[in-house]
Structure 1
Amino acid sequence: MEDQTAPVVPAMIPQTLHIIPQFDIRQILTGSTEGKLILGSLDEDVIIPSQRKCLVRILVSHLMEKFGESPTSETKMALAAALIHGFPSLKDESDTSSGFGYWFTPGRNHRPATGFLEERLRNLRKRMRKPARSRSTQQTPPQSSEAGTRRTFIPECTISEERAIQCKEWLKHNLQPLNQVEQYMQDTAVYRAKSLREHGWDIQGIRQEFPHLFTPGMIAQDFQILHREAAPKLFETWLPLFKDKILHLARREGKLISSLDGLTPDCLGELALSQLPTLLPPTVYRVGRKVFRYTIEESKLAFIDHKPVSPSAYLKGNVILLIT
């Protein structure tokens, strides 16, 4: 009698597929003035220590912007490999295996990863995770931990603070040439965002510190740098997608009683924007054991800062509405 035993089929072992990204180092560096200067030095195979530190800042800022504060080892290795492939003068001659040991060496045998890129990432993570509430609780009403985790992430500045201050002072006293104004505004976008968050200036204070921010196109440029993935939606989605829904909700809730006939799409968009404070739940904060809730009027005043203007200023188009 023949053996009819079925053949043994080996069990399928699930495998993890790692997608290794591609990095264009030259394109990353051309995004800032400091990066362009470093690029010129790299093309001449000469780089000084201060430029190397700035190079690491730029690369790590790009890395965190694209992959978060904890990118995978494969991603960091791909960045380091692309760096020495594009600029062989940066190769670690003592590392005979990969050639980028100076820049990134993955951890092994219970030893942590090392290298310029890894050390920069580690320092930034420590800085971001430090409890900053002990300093802020004495100045502002306490907030819930949930509210604190929803703050928008600001990427790391690609230029040094000293250089950012120099550009800021130059922008305060110069209107020309326009291409240099635009470049300096682009280079200081991250520094400006952090300064605004830290100091909480009103409109007048912002105008004194960053007068070019109100030049047409500058706010959009800052948004493009700070929120690259969402930037295409800045002008594209508000009017066609959200305006009608907000106005319909405001009408249904009894917040909007005026007629909308004859209003242009832009006017309807501004009207929908002004209705948000009346529809969203007011913020609750605590001082000691007492709980306070902002009124609708307080929310509206905080949402859009209205500044009185003269008729001549109005005719010149100098009316400013700033969402705070």
Structure 2
Amino acid sequence: MSLCIKNKFGILPTTELLFLDETDTVVDEEVMHDLLDANPSICLLAKDCEEFTPTDCSTPNSSTLQVLDVEMSSLSTSHQSSVAEGAHTAATDDAAEIAKKMVQEALEKNAGGQDIIEEYIRSKTLTHNTRRHLVNILVSHMVEKHGRVPVRMQKEKYGLGIVTLFPNLRDPFSTKGYEHFYDGVSGTGYLAWRLKTVQRKVTKRSVESSPHGALLGGPSLKRSIAAEQQADGDAVREAISLLLHSSDDAVIRSKMRDTFQHRHEMVHNPEMTTEVLKTYPRFLDVKGLINQDFTLLFGGDTSSKLLEKWDSTFKSKIIEEARCLTPTHTVRHLLMSAENQDTEPSADWDSDIAALLLLVHLLPPQPIGKKAAKISADAASERLVVYHKSCCSFEEALSKRDHKHPYLLAAGRNRNRIDQFYIALDKKLIPCEAASAVGAFDELFKLHFVFNLAYDDSLHNFYTFVQTTVYNIDIGKTKESPRVREFRAKLLN
């Protein structure tokens, strides 16, 4: 290579040359062919080895032999150069097109993504709120596809995809045009900032949802969906629109079934969890949708276990074990109610609710953490079911309770004459399909899995026992306290 250059430019054969790249780094002649093949448009500088000074290599002095622009045209034909340049351009265009398609598909799969595309088509730009929505959707997609810590190349691909799909968002003054969305050099930009927020939220959510250890079974476990013919993209948006306006229960159930996969993705997406009831408000006025989603998640056999086994297997044994409890005022009344022996009909709950509350006393709350305040079984029971007198306002009852976990609201003339059960969630009421107490509790339990909601800490033992022992869900995958294991052994042996 060196001899070819000397012959071309009339340099003495005995002259020793050094070759430097654009960063003033000396290029070994042995690797020069590989370097030129990899980057045909590179510009190299040739200098006399005897006069070369590393501290002043970019500015040749009077003793410098000559600065030679050694380009691909000096070493090969102009045809090779044009082919290489064309290949490089084509590769860049291909990468941009792939990134554009990825961003477009991510938006089209999201219920609000099409609105972003339509706003850009209409106004040739995006408002600040829409841009934030765009970033939220794409960061959620990125986390879903690549985990909470995507590499720089993946984040840059999303930035490239945004400005390729929405060219008016490209920054003409930056090197790549998308640095305001993601700058790989500084690690800043809208995507990077949003990703950090998501990482903090997910970490906090993980700690709150799994306070009892590393085992991952329970409501927070994302599961594979066996349901067929699930809607996606435009079909999801059309189904959601129809759900908002339809008054036909059969149509609503059908469209809720078709969009089950979309809902399951939403509840396991930290950025979308709180939006489920806003996107699917029919939970609030159509009964039976909780049961339908749970059955799609686990199958009919698992879904029916509590109702099939309650009277024959569990209720009588719970009452029998409760007789060994310390006979407090509450326990005595619950036992009488469970056995239908309460002499004051209006004083306490019906038989099934009483038995469930006795189970809370048999599996009482355990403090979580050294500084956690201990809560009594009576107080924990009030987090499971609350009585609401029929003549009183629901809004007033909900406003008095600032509780983030779901619970049963039992509405009736008195405690043992309940007319309707509701599940209270985020100060909203989901009507229960079942008229019985055990059927209403069945829906409350299932709601945790349908909406990916962690158990109330004070009821963790209670719910874990129901999950593993009654429904047989995630046995061996869920951390159980010794109290739960001991009680199961008593009941089943």
TM-score with structure 2 setting the length: 0.32
Which structure has the larger Rg over C-alpha atoms? 2
